[in-house]
Chains A and B, each alone.
Chain A
Amino acid sequence: MNDWLEKLGDKVFLLLTEIGKVLMFLGQTLRWTFSSPFYVKNVLKQMESIGVNSVPVVITTAISTGSVLALQSYTGFKRFGATSLIGAVVSLSMTRELGPVLTGLMVAGRAGASMAAELGTMKVTEQIDALTTLATNPMKYLVVPRFVASTVMMFFLTILGMMIGVTGGYLVGVKVLGTNPVTYYNQSINNTEVTDIWYGLIKALVFGAVIGLIGCYKGFNTVGGAEGVGKATTGAVVISCMLILILDYFLSALLW
């Protein structure tokens, strides 16, 4: 029993230590985000890598989700004769919930993994140390651009995801299932408020920050060789995804 408690205590201690380290990393990142010099070129490059290059994945996910949502809602609502509400369900779900969460999970899988792998490789090959010896702050040069780009681009990718998802739902609802287009449109517009969109976008900003923070943290703390880089990459994706899902609940509760 004592052994078991001791092991549990060790695990909790390790977890708390890790949380502390991540928060300190966040503090440093924020500190350097707002102090010069600003590596604008690096930020733009990361915006392309994290944002623009994620567009196909986000479009595919959003169109699929919107379409399936319309299809499944139709099956359920048909039993109550409420198929006219499909537009409202798709629109609300995509803006408040599925748009930011699914975009976040996709970007975490794609860009978060890429960040951890790239920075992890730089760490184990001493490129991060080399930056420091060249009197360049690695937090500013490497982490801040990724953190900023990830946060900003998640905002825009989520807008794209919302639009594509709603469009996918409309196409299936109207063109495939034969719902009246005017009714579908009116239900969507009348039941979705601007605040619903903002709630989704606030979530997107938080998720973007989480993806950038965790991807960079895991990369910067990579130890060992190729195996270490693999572990950092997996860790970045798993932790980012879990945090997105956990924070989603709390943000939903907060932004009710």
Chain B
Amino acid sequence: MAMIELVNLHRSFGSLQVLRGVNLSVEKGESMTVIGGSGSGKSVILKHIIGLLFPDRGRVIIEGQVLNDLDEFGLNEVRKKFGMLFQMAALFDSLTVAENVGFSLTQHTKLSDREIRKIATEKLALVGLKDVEDKMPSELSGGMKKRVGLARAICMDAEIILYDEPTTGLDPITADSINDLIVDLRKKLGVTSVSITHDMQSAYKISDRIAMLYKGEIIEIGTPDAIKTSANPIVHQFITGSAVGPITAE
């Protein structure tokens, strides 16, 4: 049984049809990356996987549970299996770093504040940060925010981690260190990951398989090597970043 299964996903926003029958299956422990142009609907896919959005047609199945059929309580139980790193980290402005990281534990466990802080410190160390527990998010750099976001995502020992453009807005060196961190965390924690990005360096480095989203459908899925040598002109144009080809700039 696949860990995540998207079956014939359709989704429109007003008159704009973003997803036109997306089918995607992610196995347990696999790292899947969805690539595609800006506005192609990559984030929409990710938001469907964690139940932030629901499809007009089609199903999202997480370990055999169809998200569409669940009530609020059931959805939250499924969401506890997830951790999500947002594009701009989405740290809570009014909370300290330690409170951000330990947020899930505060909400869903009966652990004491001291125990939560201890776990938060451990998770921060796992993402390469120390002595930042009492800082506010506004005092952190972009790369540090992403690391804190990642520590928050793994704080409840998530089985699935979703990465929304993990390297966007970072300098190349910081971006690569985030890629290394994603690979490292996967090795250490054995989690299933789904990432969306248009940064091909990142996609090649962190993925077992890459899926290309184009005009609301997955047009190709393969290993990074298979994608690099794809004969599909759309995939080829996208991964080489050429302005000439079947994909036209918006």
Which of A's residues lie within 8 Å of B, judged by CB?
A: 121-122, 125-127, 129-130, 132-137
Complex CA–CA separation, A135 to B86 (angstroms): 15
Question: Do B87 and A134 touch (CB < 8 A)?
Answer: no
- Is B114 positioned at the interface, with any CB of A under 8 Å from its CB? no
Q: Which residues of B contact A129 (CB under 8 A)?
A: 47, 52, 86, 90
Complex CA–CA separation, A134 to B84 (angstroms): 8
Which of B's residues lie within 8 Å of A, judged by CB?
A: 47, 50-52, 72, 76-77, 79-80, 82-84, 86-88, 90-93, 103-104, 107-108, 152, 162
Complex CA–CA separation, A133 to B80 (angstroms): 8
Complex CA–CA separation, A133 to B108 (angstroms): 13
**Contacts A127-B93, A135-B80 supplied; 15 other A-B pairs, CB < 8 Å:** A121-B93, A125-B90, A125-B93, A126-B88, A126-B90, A127-B91, A129-B47, A130-B91, A133-B79, A133-B82, A133-B83, A134-B104, A135-B104, A135-B108, A137-B76
Question: Do A133 and B103 touch (CB < 8 A)?
Answer: no
Question: Do A130 and B90 touch (CB < 8 A)?
Answer: yes
Selected A-B contacts with CB under 8 Å, 11 pairs: A122-B92, A122-B93, A127-B91, A127-B92, A129-B90, A130-B86, A130-B91, A132-B51, A132-B52, A134-B107, A135-B80
| Smallest Cβ-Cβ distance to B87: which chain A residue | A126
Interchain nearest-CB distance for B210 vs A (Å): 24
Interchain nearest-CB distance for B16 vs A (Å): 15
| Smallest Cβ-Cβ distance to A140: which chain B residue | B72
Question: Do A137 and B90 touch (CB < 8 A)?
Answer: no
Q: Which residues of A contact B52 (CB under 8 A)?
A: 129, 132-133
Question: Do A133 and B84 touch (CB < 8 A)?
Answer: yes
Question: Do A125 and B80 touch (CB < 8 A)?
Answer: no
Q: Which residues of B contact A122 (CB under 8 A)?
A: 92-93
Q: Which residues of B contact A126 (CB under 8 A)?
A: 86-88, 90
Question: Do B88 and A132 touch (CB < 8 A)?
Answer: no
| Smallest Cβ-Cβ distance to B72: which chain A residue | A137
Complex CA–CA separation, A137 to B93 (angstroms): 18
Q: Which residues of B contact A136 (CB under 8 A)?
A: 76, 103-104, 107
